[in-house]
Amino acid sequence: MQMKIAIEEDVETIPLKCTCGKIQGIAKNITPKAGNHIVCMCVDCQAFAHYLGKSKESLDENGGTHIFQITPKQVEVTVGREHLKCMQMSPKGLKRWYADCCKMPIANTLSFKISFVGLFTTFIDFENTELSKDELLGPIICRGMGKYGKGKLPDDTHQKFPIILIFKMIKTILIGKVIKSYLPNTFFNKETGNAITKEIILSKKEREKLKDKMVL
């Protein structure tokens, strides 16, 4: 039985766990101001959910993926790193991490020295925290890529991503290069800079098959 992690007033360490429990970890120094709580409705995020066969579990009613954007040093997989898999929609696409054991989406990353992790909120073990999702991560600050969304979209949905969010991400990445907030990095080998597992890169035909499953 897992013990509930106590939540400090200012800084939280929260538990992470895949559906079957073979992959577990922690996210450190988490507060609403420590990251960006967003929803992405882009084609690739939706296609990723279909690739895993988890569209119903991973996507909301608008086809959105709920993500908390933080830095690599804040995320640590402590159990089951051997079950982590990585795929890319294209050779230059995001590295999309998931649990090979139960197909839960884990996170999105770019490359080793870029201080960016888009942590899927479904990977957060809210049952073993003392606060709610909004109390831990803050309210959703942006719903982006609404041009690919489904159904009646919330009034605050952006067709793409607003400039202010993009600037905020760039600022975090630039500061990260100086303070090396990409270290330690649970997803990459520090010595080689390579992902800890060989990436699965989809072909154009494979991408088209996934997108055929989506009703945009």
**Which single residue is written with the structure tokens 């993926």?**
65
12-209 CATH choice from 3.20.20.70, 3.40.50.1370, 2.170.150.70, 3.90.1150.10 = 2.170.150.70
Label residues 173-182 b or e (16+ Cβ within 10 Å = b): beebeeeebb
**Which single residue is written with the structure tokens 């991490």?**
97
pLDDT at 133: 92
Domain ranges for the chain, please list them.
12-209
Separation CA 12–CA 1 (nearest Å): 21
pLDDT at 154: 97
Say whether pTM exceeds 0.85: yes
Could you state, in chain order, the average pLDDT of each consecutive group of 10 residues for the chain (216 residues)?
43 92 97 96 96 95 98 98 97 97 98 97 94 93 97 96 95 96 97 97 93 72
pLDDT at 5: 41
Separation CA 167–CA 171 (nearest Å): 6
3-state secondary structure the chain: CCCCCCCCCCCEEEEEECCCCCCEEEEEEECHHHCEEEEECCHHHHHHHHHCCCHHHHCCCCCCEEEEEECHHHEEEEECHHHEEEEECCCCCCEEEEECCCCCEEEEECCCCCCCEEEEHHHECHHHCCCCHHHHHCCCCEEECHHHCCCCCCCCECCCCCHHHHHHHHHHHHHHHHHCCCCCCCCECCCCCCECCCCEECCHHHHHHHHHCCCC
Separation CA 195–CA 208 (nearest Å): 25
Provide the 10 A C-beta neighbour count for residue 153: 18
pLDDT at 2: 45
